[in-house]
Amino acid sequence: MKMILSLLAMILTGLVVLPGAYAGNDTRETRTMNTEHTRLEKAIFAGGCFWCMEPPFERLAGVREVIAGYTGGTSTAPEYDDYAEEGHMEAVEIIYDPARVSYDQLLEVFWRQIDPTDPDGQFADRGQEYRSAIFFLTPEQKEKAETSKKEMEERGVFDRPIVTSILPAATFYRAEDYHQDYYMRNSLRYKFYRNGSGRDQFLDKVWGKARKPYGVRELQRRLTPLQYKVTQEEGTEPAFNNEYWDNQEPGIYVDIVSGEPLFGSPDKYKSGTGWPSFTRPLVPENIVTRPDRTMFFAVRTEVRSKYAGSHLGHVFDDGPPPTGQRYCLNSAALRFVPVRDLEKEGYGEFLPLFKK
């Protein structure tokens, strides 16, 4: 059956291996590297087909290279035709700059690419060579991987137990050249394979099409229906009938999903619109804006939180001085933290804003 499935996969993807197509299997040592004055580090993840695991990491700022390859087996020169027989798994080796992207961030991306509840493969690819795993290169990576897995279990993102292995890294062997960046070099075949694999259908169900850091099931359990509709479905709550439109207590407003600090009461004002309005963000780097063309004959500027990607509201150029802007937000996207609780909740850095 496995041979039949493999042949079928090769036919569907148009994968034809020609004599001389291999460029060899260079081994890559799994240690920290130093390139000029930049200290680079490595991470190794297995998540089924390595074609599908390259793109999400290559898009990250701070990632220098993502290499498709084989690891975890007993042979010293695995090739595509025999790597599984020797116990190797398809994996990717990520070379990254820890000053720009952290190992924790790589782990977050990893969980959003796989089905960690499947012990027998990933999506259409069956067999132990396609199972998911985190290969740690240092004790610190091991600790972070275990913590990340435990947090994922506690959050209840998935409806079955997580079985992804956390294993010590073995030698990583670079796969044949035709496997490297396959999604770019053979984009049509890759898209055909990926669409038929079931990977995106699963990930859309768990994480949503935007692949936000919080799972759909998790948020539906944590948020009220209105909070979910506003933050995840770009909804709008009723004017003058929401929690913070007339709140005058000093404090800060954070993202209801992630807790990112967003706006402060010193910049809040009565706009007469019936929604909480601010002249500027408390932490500008936590705010993302983008064009919103959902209204006929009008283009508005949508406001989202950077990390959680929550829809917050819109910003307009009809506000008061000194900025002339009006950040018109939904209370349902926010959580208010009064001054008295800032230190206790980890927002003590903002206390100086409220000292006279």
Which residues fall within 8 angstroms of residue 84, CB to CB, at 6 or more apart? 127, 128, 129
Determine contact, residues 228/246, Cβ cutoff 8 Å.
no
The DSSP bridge partners found for residue 314 are 302, 328
* Residue position matching structure tokens 């030698």: 171
Catalytic entry in 43, 44, 46, 49? 49
Q: 3-state secondary structure string, the chain? A: CHHHHHHHHHHHHCCCCCCCCCCCCCEECCCCEEECCEEEEEEEEEECCHHHHHHHHHCCCCEEEEEEEEECCCCCCCCCCCCHHHCCEEEEEEEECCCCCCHHHHHHHHHCCCCCCCCCEECCEECHHHCEEEEECCHHHHHHHHHHHHHHHHHCCCCCCCCCEEEECCCEEECCHHHCCHHHHCHHHHHHHHHHHCHHHHHHHHHCCCCCCCCHHHHHHHCCHHHHHHHHHCCCCCCCCCCCCCCCCCEEEEECCCCCEEEEHHHEECCCCCCCEECCCCCHHHEEEEEECCCCCCCEEEEEECCCCCEEEEEECCCCCCCCCEEEECHHHEEEEEHHHCCCCCCHHHHHHHCC
**Nearest CA among 264, 265, 270, 263 for reference residue 287:** 263
Biggest CA pair distance of the chain: 77
Q: Among the options 328, 329, 332, 333, which is catalytic?
A: 328
Examine the residue annotation and report whether 52 is marked as an active-site residue of this protein.
no
Active-site residue list: 49, 328
